[in-house]
Amino acid sequence: MLTVRSIHTYYDSIHALKGVSIHVAEGEIVTLIGANGAGKTTLVHTICGLLKPSRGSIHFYDRPIHVLPPEKIVSLGIALVPEGRQIFSTLSVEVNLEMGAFLYRNENDYAKEMKERMFQRFPVLRKRRHQLAGTLSGGEQQMLAIARALMSKPRLLILDEPSMGLAPLIVAEIFKIIQELREQGTTVLLIEQNARSALAIADRGYVLETGKVVLEGTGEALLEHSEVQRAYLGRETSRNWEV
């Protein structure tokens, strides 16, 4: 459904993406791992239209989207759960959700219905519906960010570092939610530094290093790959310590 073909993107004057190609098929969980500064977020922002690639193309269901503004891309069915959550912290939880359905503002009960669905999926949000989003805990904010993205009924959900800054228990919960979403038919592109958890639930994965894809394969294959283990899973180090 999503095909990224050798894109180059400059972030400020840094050549952040140097010919990246990835694709995501319907119903998959695809993960993108890599160290800080590898270009993961730049790639996400390029897909979502916040940055424009200087070369290359991005197609969504065979439609070129790298020329479209972000609001147009959202309306085609791509939603982003951004890095650092980026909720509207001075607005209430409820309004945050409503904003996720902004594109459907003219459909009478759409926002109401979707809000109800989100409250069912994330009961804690119902409890906090009138609170300012900035007063939620980190895990709750992450759920709100996911719920906000789901409000537009995306076909492809992109999550940028959803585990960042969260306690392990919460991270496990977030990953469980991601798997459930896939079972319900949402395709997921998951960007993570937490490579082990991400690869464990992913069908396929890409490893990004200084703006290039250096490895790709199924989740299992990458988990077993010696280079991935050395660089991202810390296997080597722990072995050294054990010896």
Partner 1 sequence: MDFIQYLFSGLTVGAIYALVALGYNIIYNVTEIINFAQGEFVMLGGLLAVFYREVLHFPLAFAFLASVVTVGFVGYFFERFVIRYAREQAVLSLIIITIAFSIVLKGSAMLFWGKDPYTLEPFTQGEPWIIFGAALQRQSLWVFLTGTAIVVGLSLFFSRSYYGKAMCACADNPVAARMVGIPVRKMIMLSFVLSAAIGAAGGVAITPLSLMEYDRGALLGLKGFGAAVLGGLGHFWGALVAGLFLGIAESMCAGYLSSGYKDAVALVALLLVLFVRPQGFFGNAEVGSIKRF
- Sequence letter at residue 201: I
Which of 1, 50, 200, 221 forms a contact with partner 1 (CB under 8 A)? 50
E-strand stretches of 25-169: 29-33, 55-60, 63-64, 78-81, 156-160
Position 68 contacts partner 1 (CB under 8 A): no
Coil, strand or helix at 11: strand
Among 149, 190, 191, 198, the residue binding partner 1 under the rule CB under 8 A is: 149
How far apart (Å, rounded) are the C-alpha atoms in residues 230 and 226?
6
- Comparing CB distances to partner 1, the nearer of 56 and 70 is 70
Residue 51, number of CB atoms within 10 A of its CB: 21
Can you tell me which of 11, 88, 110, 193 binds partner 1, judged by CB under 8 A? 88
For the chain, the residue count is: 243
Q: Does 4 bind partner 1 (CB under 8 A)?
A: no
Q: H or E stretch including 195?
A: helix 195-201
The span from the CA of 203 to the CA of 61, in Å, is: 20
Candidates 179, 192, 94, 182; CA nearest to 144 is 94
Neighbours of 112 (CB within 10 A): 11
Q: Which stretch binds partner 1 (CB under 8 A): 5-13, 51-59, 81-89, 223-231?
A: 81-89
Point out which span in 24-32, 90-98, 205-213, 231-239 binds partner 1 (CB under 8 A).
90-98
Residue 137 C-beta-side C-alpha neighbours within 13 Å: 7
Part in contact with partner 1 (CB under 8 A); list of ranges 54-62, 146-154, 188-196, 202-210: 146-154
Binding flag, residue 74, partner 1 (CB under 8 A): yes
- Which residue from 95, 124, 214, 221 is in contact with partner 1, where contact means CB under 8 A? 95
In the complex, minimum distance from the CB of residue 106 to partner 1, in angstroms, rounded to a whole number: 9
| Contact pick of 90, 108, 226, 240 for partner 1 (by CB under 8 A) | 90
CA dihedral in degrees (163, 167, 173, 175; nearest 10)? 30
Q: Which residue in 89, 120, 218, 237 binds partner 1 (CB under 8 A)?
A: 89
Please tell me the count of residues contacting partner 1 according to CB under 8 A: 27
Residue numbers of the site for partner 1 (CB under 8 A)?
48, 50, 69-71, 74-75, 79-80, 82, 86-91, 95, 98-100, 102-103, 105, 148-149, 151-152
